[in-house]
Each structure stands twice: as C-alpha cells, then as structure tokens.
Amino acid sequence: AQTVTQSQPEMSVQEAETVTLSCTYDTSENNYYLFWYKQPPSRQMILVIRQEAYKQQNATENRFSVNFQKAAKSFSLKISDSQLGDTAMYFCAFMREGGSEKLVFGKGTKLTVNP
C-alpha cells in the first residue's frame, strides 16, 4: 500500500519570502502521479500542481514549483514570493497510474503567511 508523509504539521513564512513544504511517499509502483492540493479556510480543495512520475522535469505553476526526486521518493513544494492568500492547509497526494484511481493523502501542513 502507498503511504504519504508530510513531516511538517505547521510552517510560517513572511510575506514575499520563499517557503518549501516537504513530502515523502512510499510505493512499489513505477508509474504514478503526485499532487499538491491547497485547502484554504473555505475548505475548498484546490489543485496547486501535478507531476507525472515518468517526467524528469519538475512541474511549475507560476509561483509554485516542485522538487521531484523519484529515487528518494521525495516531492517538495516551493512557494516563491509568498502571499497572504497562500495561507492554507497543503496536502501532498499520490495516485497510481491507471485512470480514475484513488488519491492517497498526507496529513497536511498548515502554512501561515505573515504580513
């Protein structure tokens, strides 16, 4: 069974600075997908970024980028130029390849961006 571990329950960062959230996972699969979801106080889950395991290039979405280390089974999220609206719970998630597979979530990291 796959597991996802987020070792930082809470983190804080000053506005405009950069922060990195950690995620490790365990799987015997070779092809899979990794995600970071954001859950702000509204509790709406928002997809932040997605990475296919077969791609060596790290995914980026504007101020969000990942450092995907397949051999180390590590998938960290870097947020640059942090904004107050980035304050949220961030969940790392794993999905097997195959279409319509279930997501396995980590326990989440609560990120607070301070003015």
Partner 1 sequence: GAVVSQHPSWVICKSGTSVKIECRSLDFQATTMFWYRQFPKQSLMLMATSNEGSKATYEQGVEKDKFLINHASLTLSTLTVTSAHPEDSSFYICSAAPLAGVRDTQYFGPGTRLTVL
Binding residues (CB under 8 A) for partner 1: these are: 33, 35, 37, 42-47, 50, 91, 95, 97-103, 105-108
Q: Which CB atom, from 81 or from 101, has the smaller least distance to partner 1?
A: 101
Write out the DSSP string of 79-100: E-S--GGG-EEEEEEEEESSSS
Output the smallest distance, CB 55 to partner 1, in A: 13
Q: Which CB atom, from 83 or from 98, has the smaller least distance to partner 1?
A: 98
Q: Report how far residue 70's alpha carbon sits from residue 50's, in angstroms, rounded to the nearest whole number.
A: 14
Closest CA to 64 of 44, 92, 43: 92
Output the smallest distance, CB 111 to partner 1, in A: 14
- Which tokens belong to 80? 């640059």
Q: Which CB atom, from 35 or from 82, has the smaller least distance to partner 1?
A: 35
